[in-house]
Amino acid sequence: MSHVTAADGAQIFFKDWGAGRPVVLSHGWPLNSDSWEAQALFLADNGYRVVAHDRRGHGRSTQTWHGNEMDTYADDLATLIDTLDLRAATLIGFSTGGGEVARYIGRHGTARVAQAVLVSAVPPLMLRTDNNPDGVPVEVFDQIRAGSLADRSQLYRNLADGPFFGNNRPGATVSQGIRDAFWSQGMRAGHRNAYECIAAFSATDFRPDLDAFDVPTLVIHGDDDQVVPFEVGGRASAARIKNAELKVYPSAPHGITDTHKERLGADLLAFLDTYAA
């Protein structure tokens, strides 16, 4: 397996598929790079080099005790990009991975970045605070934390069988296989790593990071997202990022990498092809 070594010695697993201008995929919580497999295969087949890593504590990367927060996630991503010497890359982040992309740009700039995409992403700030009154109440995240400590396996089952893929909506047809893949990937994450990542994705304020975006940016979000509500995530991010393009998927849930993979692949490819070196 391929790994890069982070500053503290953690081993960060990555896939490197295809050839062409690089695309870097950052995954959601509590998943790993396998969650991008439909988009990775599609984009690599269409002339792009696709790099997808497992965040520390997730999948095949080291289950570190420390560093389970956005600054370190972004620095690990920088280590990956620098080690592979990726240039003119398009960074695509799903959910928590969107936060990772935002913090990367906030901390490391866009010298190696040509484009950015946020998909069902957690920025600008999920948590309700005095200066973010439309955010999600802390009790929601406290319930996720309690569920993780009480029965992490069942928590992931409940998320996959319910809001993540919109399987709790009338007429939903999300396969058992998709839901099982969510659970399987989640259980490969370290317990502490996944637990601490709840605070990382919910309470990190990415607003200053979004202000630093100076590359073409596409924001994609379902308007029936029950995990990162559209108004809190996609609409707010698109309004904050200068000249961002917003694509709204009507009635789409959070997990559109699976439920809307054909449309998502086509939209990503169309956006990638707009880049002129």
Mean pLDDT of the region 210-214: 98
d(CA 266, CA 249): 13
Tell me the residue length of the chain: 277
In contact, 74 and 80? CB cutoff 8 Å: no
Q: Quote the pLDDT of residue 28.
A: 98
Please say if the pLDDT value at position 100 is more than 80.
yes
Q: Are β-strands 48-53 and 11-17 bridged in parallel, bridged antiparallel, or unpaired?
A: antiparallel
Residue 111, both tokens: 């010298």
Q: Are β-strands 217-222 and 245-249 bridged in parallel, bridged antiparallel, or unpaired?
A: parallel
Task: Classify residue 38 by burial, with Cβ atoms within 10 Å: 0-12, 13-18, 19+.
Answer: middle
In contact, 258 and 31? CB cutoff 8 Å: no
Amino acid at residue number 244: A
How many structural domains is the chain composed of? 1
Instruction: Give the pTM.
Output: 0.98
Rg (CA), the chain: 17
Average pLDDT, the chain: 98
Percent of the chain with pLDDT over 90: 99
Q: What is the pLDDT of residues 239-256, one digit of tens each?
A: 999 999 999 999 999 999
d(CA 91, CA 26): 8
d(CA 57, CA 55): 6
Q: What is the pLDDT of residues 11-25, one digit of tens each?
A: 999 999 999 999 999
d(CA 244, CA 151): 40
d(CA 201, CA 38): 24
In contact, 227 and 163? CB cutoff 8 Å: yes
Q: Which domain holds residue 65?
A: 3-273
Q: What is the pLDDT of residues 153-202, one digit of tens each?
A: 999 999 999 999 999 999 999 999 999 999 999 999 999 999 999 999 99
d(CA 4, CA 119): 25
Please say if the pLDDT value at position 276 is more than 80.
no
Q: What is the pLDDT of residues 13-72, one digit of tens each?
A: 999 999 999 999 999 999 999 999 999 999 999 999 999 999 999 999 999 999 999 999
Three-class DSSP category at 189 = coil
Our CA dihedral for 101, 106, 112, 113, rounded to 10 degrees, sits at: 50
CATH number at residue 135: 3.40.50.1820
Instruction: Work out the pLDDT band at 277, boundaries 50, 70, 90.
Output: low
Q: Please list the active-site residues.
A: 95, 225, 254
Q: Quote the pLDDT of residue 1.
A: 77
What is the residue-wise DSSP string for 32-97? -GGGGHHHHHHHHHTTEEEEEEPPTTSTTS---SS--SHHHHHHHHHHHHHHTT--SEEEEEETHH
**Residue among 228, 268, 258 at smallest CA distance from 34:** 258
Beta bridge partners of 23: 50, 90
